[in-house]
Amino acid sequence: MNRILIAAAAVILTTPLAIAGPIDSACVRSERGARQPALCSCVQQVANQTLSRSDQRLAASFFRDPHKAQVVRMSKRDADNAFWARYKAFAGTAEAYCR
C-alpha cells in the first residue's frame, strides 16, 4: 500500500497543475472548500491520476448531494460497487497526499 501511495505521489508531483476539474470546482463551491482552495486543487490532482472523468463527475456530485454517496455505496449494482472501490482508493490516496 505504501508503495502505491509513494508512486501516486511521485506521479502527482511531476504532473503540471491541472485546470480546475469537476472535483476541484465542487470542492471550492463547498462550505469548507472555499476556505481551502489549495486542498481542493490537490484533491483534483489526485483525482486526475486515479479516476476517469465520468468517475470524477459522479464524485463531484457528492458535494452537492451527500446522500447520493450513501445510495451509491449501498447499491447492489456491479457498476456502483466497482465505482465505490475506485472512489475509496482515490479517497485514501488524496487523504495521504493532500494533508
What whole-number distance in Å separates Cα of residue 20 and Cα of residue 25?
6
What whole-number distance in Å separates Cα of residue 30 and Cα of residue 82?
26
Give the range of the structural domain holding residue 74, as residue numbers without chain letter: 2-97
Global confidence as pTM = 0.78
Of 53, 54, 55, the C-alpha closest to 88 is: 55
| Tens digits of pLDDT across the chain (99 residues) | 555 555 555 555 545 454 689 999 999 999 877 789 999 999 999 999 999 999 999 999 999 999 999 999 999 999 999 999 999 999 999 999 998
What whole-number distance in Å separates Cα of residue 92 and Cα of residue 97?
9
Instruction: Domain count for the chain, please give it.
Output: 1
What phi and psi, each to the nearest 5 degrees, are found at residue 65?
Answer: -140, 80
Other Cβ atoms within 10 Å of 21 Cβ, number: 21
Q: Residue 82 is placed in which grid cell?
A: 466497482
